[in-house]
Chains A and B, each alone.
Chain A
C-alpha cells in the first residue's frame, strides 16, 4: 500500500515537472526569450566572429531583446531572434549615403511634399555579412489631394514611397519601412517589417498593412496641416 502511494507520488512529481518544463519551453519559444547561458554563448560567438576579437564583454539588452558590445563607442548588437547584427558604424555609413542621395530627390518638384530628411537603419545577416536588410523612415509625405476610395489612396501612397526607394537605387536593400501619408482624407501609416526586398512584396500585402490613424494626436496634426492649407 505504502509502495503504491510512493509510486503514485513519484508519477505525479514527474508529470508536474514535465508540465512545468513544457510551459517554460513554450514561454521561451513564444516570447522568443533568451535561454540562460545558451543564447549568451551563441551571441558571444557571433559577435566575436563579426568583430574578429576574442576578448569581448557582451551585455544583454532587455529592451531590444538582443546582446551587444560597445566597441570604442560603436554599438554592435546581435539579435538572436532574427539572427541579425546591427553595427552602428555600418548603419551610419549607409544612412549618410542615402541621405546625401535623398537631398537630390527632395529638390524635385511634384504634387507631393516629401519630408526634409529620411533615415535608414541597416542590419546584416549573421550568416552572410554581405546580406544587408534596411528599414526606411519616410515621415511624412504630404499631398493636397482627396481620394474617392481608400484603395486609390493606398495605391498613391505606395507609388510615392517607391518613388523614393527607386531613386535611392539598387545598392540598398530596403526590406522594411515606416511611412506616413497625409492627404485631405486624413493620416495613413504603413509599418512593414520584412526580410525580402519591399519591391518584391506584393502590392495587396502592403496595402493591407496601411491603416488610417484614428488617434487624437494624429488627427490634431492633420487638422493643423489642413488649416494651414486654407
Chain B
C-alpha cells in the first residue's frame, strides 16, 4: 500500500515538474517572441531630398517620401512609393528611391510605437494603394460621391508621394498633418480634403515638423 502511494507520489511529482518546465518554457518563448524584431523597418517612412533642383540648390525645392515595405534597405524593392507623373504607387528599389540625392532619415508618426502588428497593418494598407496614379497638386484625389464616411483605397484616383504616407498613418488614426478637426486625410469631408490640397502639407513639411525622426542612418 505504502509502496504504491510512494510510486504515485513520484509520478505526480514528475508530472508537476514536467508541467512546470512547460510553463517556464512557454513564458520564456513568449518573452523572446515579443522582443524578437521580425519586422525591422517595415511601416516606417523614409525621405530623401532633391526634388526639383536648380543650380546652387542641390537639395531642391522639395523632398520625396516613401514607406518601407521590407525590413531593410538591403532587401529587394524595399519601398512603396508614388515616384511621379506617368507612374503609379509601386514597389521601388532603394537606388530608384534615393536617385543619388541626400538621404534624410527614417520617420514614424509622433506618439506611435511601430509594433509588429502596427507594421503589418501599415504595410498591408500601403499595398492596397498600388496602382493608383500620381498627382502633383494635391496629396489625394478621390471620388467624394462613392466614398462613404471614410475614403477607401479603391475610391482614390490619385496620390502624391506624401499622400501615401499620410493616408496609411491616418487610416490607423496616427495624425500626421492638418488642423484640429480636419487632419484626417481618410475622412470624406470637404474641409478635410482642402486641408490636404495644394501645398498645405508637403513631403518636406512632413519630415521637418510633422513626423518624428527615428534615425539619420540607413534603415539597415
Interface residues of A (CB under 8 A from B): 30-32, 59-65, 75, 86, 88, 91-92, 95, 99, 115-117, 119, 121, 123, 135, 137, 139-140, 176, 178, 180, 187, 191, 193, 215, 217-218, 220-221
Contact = CB atoms under 8 A, between A and B. Distances in A.
Nearest to B77: A73
Given A30-B54, A63-B52, A178-B102, A140 B73 contact: no
Given A32-B54, A191-B58, A221-B213, 20 more contacts: A32-B55, A59-B85, A60-B85, A61-B83, A62-B52, A62-B84, A62-B136, A63-B52, A64-B50, A64-B84, A65-B53, A86-B95, A86-B100, A115-B217, A115-B218, A119-B73, A178-B102, A180-B217, A187-B216, A217-B213
Contacts of B103: 137, 139, 178
Interface of B: 50-55, 58, 64, 72-74, 83-86, 93-96, 98-100, 102-103, 105, 136, 208, 212-213, 215-218, 220
Contact of B220 (A95, A115, A218): A115
Contact of A140 (B54, B93, B102, B217): B217
Contacts of A178: 102-103
A164 B196 CA distance: 44
State the 10 A-B residue pairs at the shortest beta-carbon distance, nearest first. A217-B213, A116-B220, A139-B217, A31-B54, A63-B84, A59-B86, A140-B217, A121-B100, A63-B51, A117-B220
A60 B95 CA distance: 18
18 contacts: A31-B55, A32-B54, A32-B55, A61-B84, A61-B85, A63-B52, A63-B64, A88-B96, A115-B218, A121-B95, A135-B100, A137-B103, A178-B102, A180-B217, A193-B58, A215-B208, A217-B105, A221-B216
B75 to A, nearest CB: 12
A95 B22 CA distance: 47
A175 to B, nearest CB: 11
Contact of B74 (A60, A117, A140): A117
Contacts of A217: 105, 212-213, 216
Contacts of A59: 85-86
Contacts, number: 92
A104 B91 CA distance: 30
Nearest to B161: A63
B218 to A, nearest CB: 5
The secondary-structure label for the interface of chain A is: mixed
A193 B84 CA distance: 24
A86 B83 CA distance: 16
A176 B102 CA distance: 11
B68 to A, nearest CB: 15
B53 to A, nearest CB: 7
A8 B95 CA distance: 58
Contacts of A218: 213, 216
A139 B51 CA distance: 21
Contacts of B86: 59-61
B99 A64 contact: yes
Contacts of A221: 213, 215-216
A213 B28 CA distance: 43
B76 to A, nearest CB: 10
A116 B220 CA distance: 7
Given A139-B103, A217-B105, A119 B98 contact: yes
Nearest to A117: B220
A68 to B, nearest CB: 9
Contacts of B55: 30-32
A88 B54 CA distance: 24
Nearest to A66: B99
Nearest to A222: B216
B95 A88 contact: yes
Given A63-B52, A139-B216, A217-B213, A75 B96 contact: yes
A164 to B, nearest CB: 14
A116 to B, nearest CB: 4
Given A63-B64, A180-B216, A221-B213, A92 B51 contact: no
B100 A191 contact: no
Contact of A117 (B53, B64, B213, B218): B218
